[in-house]
Amino acid sequence: MHAAVYKKRADVNAVIHTHPVFSSVFGAVKMALPAISEDFAQIVGDKVDFAEPYELPGTEELAISAAKALGKHNAVILPNHGSLSVGDTIKMALKVSVVLEKNAQIYLFARLLGTPQLFQQKDIDAMQAFAKNMYGKKNKDYI
Ligand SMILES: [Zn+2]
């Protein structure tokens, strides 16, 4: 699965695969995870999709499905399995992995209390532009 991502994405130098509880809830019901926290919007985007269909762990089929569903995003949820996060550095891939799980927890708890209030696309675009500018030019560790 890691190799399949590296073959598809020249910008990716690190892949992290985990089995996180809250992100996995979204995979269990095959629901894309929308951005609900600012750090997620900055470094992941408007949402994280799930790979389709379910594939057995450790198989070539899962590798192909995960890399395809990842597309140009920085993370993907693997139904009934876990998640996969990527970055140009191992530090960024880890940050994406942590932020993905935090966002999943917040979104799930928000659904329990009421209706999660999602960002407008223009706000996500602005946060991503800010993050790219800060990440590329000033302090790579600011996030
Ligand atoms: Zn696994």
CA of 18 from ligand 1 middle (Å) equals 6
Query: What is the pTM for the complete model shown?
Result: 0.91
Give the pLDDT confidence of 20-54 residue by residue, as tens digits: 999 999 999 999 999 999 999 999 999 999 999 99
User: Using 50, 70 and 90 to split pLDDT, how confident is the model at 143?
Assistant: low
Q: What is the 3-state secondary structure (H, E, C) of the chain?
A: CHHHHHHHCCCCCEEEEECCHHHHHHHHCCCCEECCCHHHHHHCCCEECECCCCCCCCCHHHHHHHHHHHCCCCEEEECCCEEEEEECCHHHHHHHHHHHHHHHHHHHHHHHHCCCCCCCHHHHHHHHHHHHHHHHHCCCCCC
Structure tokens at 109: 């708890």
How confident is the model at residue 132, as a pLDDT?
A: 84
How confident is the model at residue 133, as a pLDDT?
A: 85
CA of 97 from ligand 1 middle (Å) equals 14
Give the pLDDT confidence of 90-120 residue by residue, as tens digits: 999 999 999 999 999 999 999 999 999 999 9
Q: Report the percentage of the chain scoring pLDDT > 90.
A: 90
CA of 131 from ligand 1 middle (Å) equals 29
The pLDDT of residue 137 is above 60: no
Q: What are phi and psi of 17, to 5 degrees?
A: -115, 130
Q: Which residues surround ligand 1, an ion (CB under 5 A)?
A: 82
CA of 80 from ligand 1 middle (Å) equals 10
How confident is the model at residue 37, as a pLDDT?
A: 97
CA of 59 from ligand 1 middle (Å) equals 11
Give the pLDDT confidence of 55-90 residue by residue, as tens digits: 999 999 999 999 999 999 999 999 999 999 999 999
Tell me what the mean pLDDT of segment 6-21 comes to.
98
